[in-house]
Amino acid sequence: MSLFGNKNKKVKDSCCCGSSCDEQSMEKAIAEQSEGVFIKVLGSGCSKCRELENNTKIALEQLGMDTTIEHITDFTQIASYGIMTTPALVVGGNVVSFGKVLKVEEIIKLLQKIL
């Protein structure tokens, strides 16, 4: 009899969302990160997230870019980007901002620098 249980027992790795995600949702999140150039707003859909999305649309219009913005509200997918505070802005699979609402001018500067 062992005091601390079976030493050979395998411990299942848990993810950052407390194991509430499944294999399919994690695969989808990883696949989406490996796509080409795209813009995503990560957040629950609160007013700050919507404001960041709106500012990003305005910035894209001012730059003459016809890029679709995807708003991700699934916390499994958000966590797969490694951020803990929203809203966040993802350009081409890279998180360029998180935890604050960027102004239109700030987004334009970021996009010009990245793209």
Between CA 34 and CA 84 the distance in angstroms is 20
Question: How far is CA 66 from each of CA 63, 105, 114, rounded to the nearest angstrom?
Answer: 9, 18, 16
> Any idea which residues carry the catalytic annotation?
46, 49
Cα separation, 86 vs 82, in Å, equals 11
Of 85, 108, 107, 81, give the one whose Cα is nearest residue 98: 85
CB of 110 closer than 8 Å to CB of 88: no
Confidence of residue 66 (pLDDT cuts 50, 70, 90): confident
Quick check: 55 pLDDT over 50?
yes
Distances (CA, A) of 7 to 3, 11, 12: 10, 10, 14
pTM over the 0.75 mark:
no
pLDDT higher at 93 or 102: 102
pLDDT, tens only, 28-50: 555 554 444 589 999 999 999 99
Is the pLDDT at 79 greater than 80, yes or no? yes
